[in-house]
Amino acid sequence: MQRADRLSGAARVIPALAWLPHYRRSWWRNDILAGLTVTALLIPEGMAYAQLAGVGPEAAFYAAPAALLLYALLGTSRQLVVAVSSAVAITSAATVSMFATAGTARYAALTAALALLAGLVSVVAGLLRLGRIVQFFSSSVLLGFVFGLALIISMKQIPKILGLDVSEPDFFVGLWRTLTSLGDTSLVTLAVGVGCIVGMVVLERRVPKLPAALVVLVGSIVVSAAADLPAHGVTVVGELPSGLAPPELPGVGWSAVPLLFTGALGIALLAFAEATGPAEQLAREHGDDIDADRELIAIGSSNMGAGLFQGFPIGASLSKSAANDRAGAHSPMSLIVAAAATALVALFLTPLFRNLPEAALGAIVLVAVSDMERPGPLLRLWRLRRADCVLALVALGGVLVLDIIPGLVIAVVASLGLVVWRSGEARVAVLDRSASGMGLAPAGEPVTPAHGAGLLVVRPQQMLFFVNAAQIRDAVLAAADQHGALEVVVLDLALTPDVDAPSCDALGDLAEVLHTRGADLWIVTGTAEAADRLHAAGIADAIGPDAVFDDVTHALLAYLERHSTDDHDARAEVVGELLDLVHDRRRHPHLDDRGRRALDDLEEHLRAELG
């Protein structure tokens, strides 16, 4: 038992200890196949993304093995591939290019330092249990941000395919320089680039099981060597250093930390947001659970490993994760296989890439990011909710006009602003009596108050907290104004798990105003914590200890008992509607055993009322 407990505790620190002891020999075949599939996709894209980051293609072989191995040991997703990311790579280039020139030793050292710092930020966030922070980033805003990133990435690859020497960080300046330089296009280079694009598109559609990028990469190397493309003006990768870089700290000094911190924070957020969607999707498909805090630590550790081995910042890949899953990966062992295979290529096969055309790498990137540039998701946002589409376009425009890091800031601020704005909306509903029984209707609509004109039941449609407390107080008073003379206003806080100090103040104000109008305030709390807070703040004493309930049906029953009537038929009608409400409560997806027992007691009491 003690050994099992120790293993369970160790598995919380190193999740691989949860699956490695139970690894089955029958899984080897699928995991090896999946690992080789990931490697086949990783090598061409990794070399291309390294150039996006402004470092040599060999940096992919330095970064990927460490990232894959560390995520396999520390990640909680069985299928997610964390190795290279076009979005993270271009964000890295945008950060480092402000302080060094691409291709220099200083640039490579700063890039490795950026990966280390971004990883450290992510690990610290995971240790602080900030994994749920991704919930505050609107997928609509991130859609616009990623769309803008994809356009910038594509703009940087088009000159490679045209054989032009255009290197401009500004999107619109780069676009203008490319257009004005079209007369200098190398037709041979253009033919190579277009041929690679067409080849990948055809292979992906006709033979989807083949790694199209790897086939095109090998094919372009063969054609380049056979036709001596460099002699015809086609730029090739050239000699790449063999082997793996030894682990070492980048020699950039502590003074580089404040320079890189903003970019590191952005990369940590982007890498986590990029990984969360695929990880949760794959987990749902396989019935697994994802620990967001552990994911932060795993992705951060992978980035730190990439930085220590002189690589560049990494992120997650939806396409490679999906391929890993389709190949039948049973466990993260497939990532360990991919790490070993990538290391072997770095040790023994890098001379084969000498004749690889730069245009082929540009084509690989263009095809890889093409899914991010589809207008369909933006049009869908426009149809569903135009405000979300506008926010996406704001993030997109911010990336293109202000550059990547300011664009990321705009995306983050817009997401958080959207959360605050929507939380600040005072949306309340009123319990009313209709032909079909009792139900909730938006405040402001004409309704017949339930249980006579003397009672009003109001439920905020979002959590009550400091942002919206005053607005909800005013909305409740406005709803009370529409219903004439009232004896009791029941405020149902079922969606509020706890009550902060500003909310307590607002509830105190609400009780005082209603009291001056001759009405009592009764409060239904969603949790015991909220009830305790009301008692600690003195709200329960002010409105009366018997005016705090744990369920709206109990409040309705208390009002019914206060106004006992001799009209048996009217009373039976109200009790019947309360029974309907009890039955509706039984279907609530989050009803626990305690709540079910309370409903049983209440139903027994109501049936006794019917006598």
Q: What is the DSSP string of 275-303?
A: HHHHHHHHHHHHT----HHHHHHHHHHHH
- The one-letter amino acid code at 467 reads V
Residue span(s) of the chain under CATH 3.30.750.24 come to 426-610
Residue 346 pLDDT = 93
User: Taking a C-beta distance cutoff of 8 angstroms, is the pair 152, 80 a contact?
Assistant: no
Does position 572 have pLDDT exceeding 70, yes or no? no
**Integer Cα distance of 481 and 444 in angstroms:** 10
Find the mean pLDDT for residues 487-505: 88
Which residue matches tokens 């200083």? 106
CA neighbor of 235 nearest in space, from 166, 153, 312, 149: 166
Find the mean pLDDT for residues 236-259: 91
Q: What is the dihedral of CA 71, 72, 77, 83, to 10 degrees?
A: 50
CA neighbor of 502 nearest in space, from 476, 469, 535: 469
Work out the percent of the chain whose per-residue pLDDT is above 90: 41
Q: What is the pLDDT of residues 584-593, one digit of tens each?
A: 666 655 556 6
**Integer Cα distance of 326 and 462 in angstroms:** 40
Does position 340 have pLDDT exceeding 80, yes or no? yes
CA neighbor of 301 nearest in space, from 50, 49, 73: 73
Residue 573 pLDDT = 62
> Could you say which DSSP state residue 246 is in?
P
Confidence of residue 142 (pLDDT cuts 50, 70, 90): confident
Which residue matches tokens 């080897």? 28
User: Taking a C-beta distance cutoff of 8 angstroms, is the pair 480, 451 a contact?
Assistant: no
Fold of 426-610: Transcription Regulator spoIIAA (3.30.750)
Residue 100 pLDDT = 94
**Integer Cα distance of 200 and 178 in angstroms:** 24
| Sign (positive or negative) of CA dihedral 464, 465, 467, 471 | positive
Q: What is the pLDDT of residues 348-361, one digit of tens each?
A: 999 999 999 999 99
User: Taking a C-beta distance cutoff of 8 angstroms, is the pair 465, 498 a contact?
Assistant: no
Which secondary-structure segment (H or E) carries 410?
Answer: helix 404-423
CA angle 175, 181, 185 (to 5 degrees): 115
| Top-confidence residue, 444 or 193 | 193
Q: Which of 23-37, 60-74, 271-285, 472-486 has the highest mean pLDDT?
A: 60-74
| Top-confidence residue, 82 or 132 | 82
**Integer Cα distance of 153 and 559 in angstroms:** 65
Name which of 19-23, 85-89, 203-207, 280-284 the model is least confident about: 280-284
Q: What is the pLDDT of residues 158-169, one digit of tens each?
A: 999 999 988 777
User: Taking a C-beta distance cutoff of 8 angstroms, is the pair 39, 344 a contact?
Assistant: no
**Integer Cα distance of 494 and 429 in angstroms:** 12
**Integer Cα distance of 224 and 359 in angstroms:** 11
| Top-confidence residue, 581 or 228 | 228
Find the mean pLDDT for residues 193-222: 91
Q: For all residues of the chain together, what is the average pLDDT?
A: 84
Confidence of residue 15 (pLDDT cuts 50, 70, 90): confident
Find the mean pLDDT for residues 313-335: 88
Q: Which of 105-109, 322-326, 575-579 has the highest mean pLDDT?
A: 105-109
CA angle 583, 587, 592 (to 5 degrees): 105
**Integer Cα distance of 194 and 216 in angstroms:** 11
Which residue matches tokens 């005053």? 470
CA neighbor of 548 nearest in space, from 501, 593, 511, 582: 511
Work out the percent of the chain whose per-residue pLDDT is above 70: 86
17 contacts: CB under 8 Å, gap ≥ 6: 7, 10, 11
Q: What is the pLDDT of residues 43-85, one digit of tens each?
A: 999 999 999 999 999 999 999 999 999 999 999 998 899 999 9
Which residue matches tokens 């009791």? 488
Residue 57 pLDDT = 93
Residue 14 pLDDT = 85
Please name every residue paired with 358 in a beta bridge, in sequence order, or none if there are none: none
CA neighbor of 395 nearest in space, from 377, 383, 422: 377
CB atoms within 10 A of CB 280: 18
**Integer Cα distance of 457 and 436 in angstroms:** 18
DSSP assignment of 439-478: EEEETTS---BTTSTTEEEEEESS---TTTHHHHHHHHHH
Helix axes 105-127, 59-74, angle to 10 degrees: 10
Confidence of residue 385 (pLDDT cuts 50, 70, 90): confident
> Could you say which DSSP state residue 331 is in?
S
* Distances from the Cα of 419 to the Cα of 6, 133, 388, 423, angstroms: 41, 12, 12, 6
Token pair for 424: 């600040």
Half-sphere exposure of 581 (CA within 13 A, CB side): 23
Give the SS3 label for residue 181. coil
Outline where DSSP puts E strands in 261-410: 316-317
Q: What is the pLDDT of residues 432-473, one digit of tens each?
A: 544 334 444 444 444 444 444 577 888 888 888 888 888 889
**Integer Cα distance of 377 and 144 in angstroms:** 10
Confidence of residue 133 (pLDDT cuts 50, 70, 90): confident
Confidence of residue 368 (pLDDT cuts 50, 70, 90): confident
CA neighbor of 313 nearest in space, from 41, 50, 39: 50
Confidence of residue 575 (pLDDT cuts 50, 70, 90): low
User: Taking a C-beta distance cutoff of 8 angstroms, is the pair 96, 250 a contact?
Assistant: no
User: Taking a C-beta distance cutoff of 8 angstroms, is the pair 486, 458 a contact?
Assistant: no
